[in-house]
Amino acid sequence: MSESMSYPPLFRHPITTSTVPIPKSEPDSIPIIDLHHLSSENFHAACKNWGLFRLINHGVPLQLSTQLHQYARKVFDLPFESKQELGKSPVSYFWGTPALTPSGSALKGSDQSVNWVEGFNFPVSRMSAVDDANATLDAFRALLDEYGSHLARLATRLYELMAGGLGLDPGLSTTYVDVSTGLIRVYRYPPADPGRVLGMEAHTDSSVLSILSQDDEVSGLEVLKEDEWVQVKPVAGSLVVNLGDMLQVSFSSPSFDFIWL
């Protein structure tokens, strides 16, 4: 099977040679938060001024992260039709935007309005209910189950730190970062002509917190800071934490910055 057959039909088209210059590899200014040697001052400054930071010494085993990325590639490399079959409750498989037919065709007739992405949603609290008939998906599910436990721990810890710094009850975390509302989203961005389509349109995350594990080999994440887009380069062993819209709701005040991605 050719690689293109693993993509949704909308994304199967020849890619022209890119003439967009590759940006120089320079250090970015994204704040770094060390969870083992935490500076409360630096942590709250990152939340207030950026709404986004890199997290290191977070306790997620490197081997687990490596295996997750490997199995994600295996799942995405399955034929498109097979992935549609995997997308059954509680797992959902999606591509493009809601403005698509069930077969994956764009409703508006122009792929310029489509996000050039496909992905899976896995509910953290219902991993055991994921169909284990597919061996690749079952192995992936087991890794995601372990990874979800780490994400739940980190989300609770980070929320408690933010609430405590604002003089609020850290116990609010049981309401706003409950594992029952947690999702693990796994994305793949098919090859596309630069300047013609976007992997993901500019947006803010609607969640309380987003904890991102980037592919070490591909850089694409950007954040809007002071009216300029800043590239968030992958750093091995780190996670990227983004404060979402619901965090502001939970604190009932605009205490922190909320970043556009």
pLDDT digits (tens, 9 = 90+) for 246-259: 777 666 655 666 55
Domain at 151, CATH number = 2.60.120.330
Residue 13 in any domain: the answer is no
Residue 14 in any domain: the answer is no
- Tell me if 65 sits within 8 A of 56, measured CB to CB: no
Residue 194 in any domain: the answer is yes
Residue 261 in 3-state DSSP? Answer: coil
Per-residue pLDDT reduced to its tens digit, 28-67: 789 999 999 999 999 999 998 998 999 999 999 999 999 9
The Cβ of residue 140 has, within 10 Å, a number of other Cβ atoms equal to: 23
> Average pLDDT for residues 17-29, to the nearest whole number?
53
Residue 80 in any domain: the answer is yes
Residue 207 in any domain: the answer is yes
- Tell me if 7 sits within 8 A of 80, measured CB to CB: yes
Residue 201 in any domain: the answer is yes
Put the strands of the sheet holding 118-123 in their side by side order: 92-95, 118-123, 183-188
**Domain span holding position 192:** 27-100+107-251
Residue 5 in any domain: the answer is no
What's the confidence (pLDDT) of residue 156?
92
pTM, full prediction: 0.82
The domain tally of the chain equals: 1
DSSP assignment of 28-64: ----EEESSS--HHHHHHHHHHTSEEEEES-S--HHH
Q: Say which amino acid occupies 258.
A: F
Residue 34 in any domain: the answer is yes
Instruction: Look at residues 172, 163, 130, 153 and name the one whose alpha carbon lies nearest to residue 35.
Output: 153
